[in-house]
Amino acid sequence: MERRPATERPLTATDVVLDVSPATRVLSLWKLGGRKGRPGGVTRAEAHKIARTLPYQTLRVFLREQFRCAPSEEEVDRAIELPDSGICGFGMDPAYKSRDSIAAVAGAVSSRRATLASQIAGDAARYLPEARSWKKVRVWFVIASQTMFDAVSLRASADGDSVPTILINLTDVLSYGNTTAERLETLEHVLAHEVFHAGLHQAEVMLPGWADYRDNSLSDFAYVRRVMLDEGIAHYIDWRERPGADTLFTWKPSSRETFAFSQLATACRRLRQPGAARGDLIEILQLAGSGPLWSKYGAISGMFAAHRIEMALGKKVLRQAIEGGPNEFLKTYRQVSRRNPGLSGIPAELITLQ
């Protein structure tokens, strides 16, 4: 009997695994309380067991790669056992003091796991290309130092497997609002943002328009083009339905939109300046997709470009532009901006001949 070829399908809730156990294991050790910021009854051996688990091993790898901080297992042990001892220069004491609030968020995620996974997958799949198969996107909720990061999408975990992994730092999630309900609402948007990244990294492998954007040796302007699509769409998914979104995505370009494209043009001019120090250029490139939200000129201009494409040409055309890759995405936005003189253009440095 002839086997029928596999058909492509969208990402679904079954492809997203929400795991709060990395956080709840730490919280269970901290449950007894103690004095002077020190949990009562926690032993170094118990903390060591947690530090050796794959989620916290993966967290260590992330800290080393992104913050040039390489905590040992022993340092992670100590940070869990004695939160006021700190790790990588950032104390765990705020997490310990807010352990009840963190536990409330973890409990809300756990109780709404199926609904949350369905909503997240649906929001991301709205713009993701379909694929013949999906690796499950593993979401680990961990407890880490305050203000280090809130969420990050990784292509693999510390054991070298190729399972896409998302780390959510519940300590930083507390900054999303004043109540558990407010925090969970924002967390849902952030998770959809990160799941889009994890899904796109899988889907792009089979898409011809992404062939020149898959390695780590991109030219400076190719890197900005990639950020505008990858981070731009992720931010659009994140922000398009947040409260107050109607003040961002307006018929007449908002001040945020105008500023983002202005910063994009400035960055491109600086990147082409002859004789610029490589360190300065790297700093400019980093600001394309990281740093203070409204200063991420690549991500935010890409977000508004996505909005303009969808509003003018529809969701189907935006999805086609995403599937076509960064060149097609910017080409499609240029078509929209030419028809509306009120919109910002694309800097000449980012225009390809394709």
95/91 Cα distance (integer angstroms): 8
340/304 Cα distance (integer angstroms): 14
pTM of the model: 0.93
Structural domain includes residue 7: no
Predicted local distance difference test score (pLDDT) of residue 41? 64
Domain check: are 82 and 40 in the same one? yes
Predicted local distance difference test score (pLDDT) of residue 40? 64
Backbone torsions φ then ψ of 235, nearest 5 degrees: -70, -35
Backbone torsions φ then ψ of 19, nearest 5 degrees: -125, 105
Final residue of a domain: which of 206, 238, 262?
Answer: 206
Domain check: are 236 and 298 in the same one? yes
Q: Which domain holds residue 174?
A: 13-206
Predicted local distance difference test score (pLDDT) of residue 2? 47
Domain check: are 197 and 224 in the same one? no
Domain check: are 80 and 202 in the same one? yes
Domain check: are 73 and 194 in the same one? yes
The DSSP H or E segment spanning 19 is strand 16-19
Predicted local distance difference test score (pLDDT) of residue 303? 98
User: How many domains does the chain contain in total?
Assistant: 2
Domain check: are 191 and 262 in the same one? no
Predicted local distance difference test score (pLDDT) of residue 4? 43
Tens-binned pLDDT, residue by residue, of the chain (354 aa): 444 446 899 999 999 999 999 999 999 988 865 555 566 666 788 888 998 999 999 998 898 888 888 788 888 888 888 888 877 767 788 999 999 999 999 999 999 999 999 999 999 999 999 999 999 999 999 999 888 899 999 988 887 777 899 999 999 999 999 999 999 999 999 999 999 999 999 999 999 999 999 877 899 999 999 999 999 999 999 999 999 999 999 999 999 999 999 999 999 999 999 998 999 999 999 999 999 999 999 999 999 999 999 999 999 999 999 999 999 999 999 999 999 989 999 999 999 755
Structural domain includes residue 321: yes
Domain check: are 101 and 163 in the same one? yes
Domain check: are 264 and 329 in the same one? yes
Residue 280: which residues within 8 A CB-CB, separation 6 or more?
Answer: 270
Backbone torsions φ then ψ of 5, nearest 5 degrees: -65, 145
Domain check: are 195 and 219 in the same one? no
Strands 137-142 and 16-19: parallel
22/25 Cα distance (integer angstroms): 6
Predicted local distance difference test score (pLDDT) of residue 3? 45
Final residue of a domain: which of 206, 238, 267?
Answer: 206
Final residue of a domain: which of 140, 172, 206?
Answer: 206
Q: Which of 115, 246, 120 is nearest to 192 (CA)?
A: 120
Kindly tell me the burial class for residue 300, based on how many C-beta atoms sit within 10 Å of its own C-beta (0-12, 13-18, 19 or more).
buried
Predicted local distance difference test score (pLDDT) of residue 38? 60
* Contact yes or no for 227/288 (Cβ under 8 A): yes
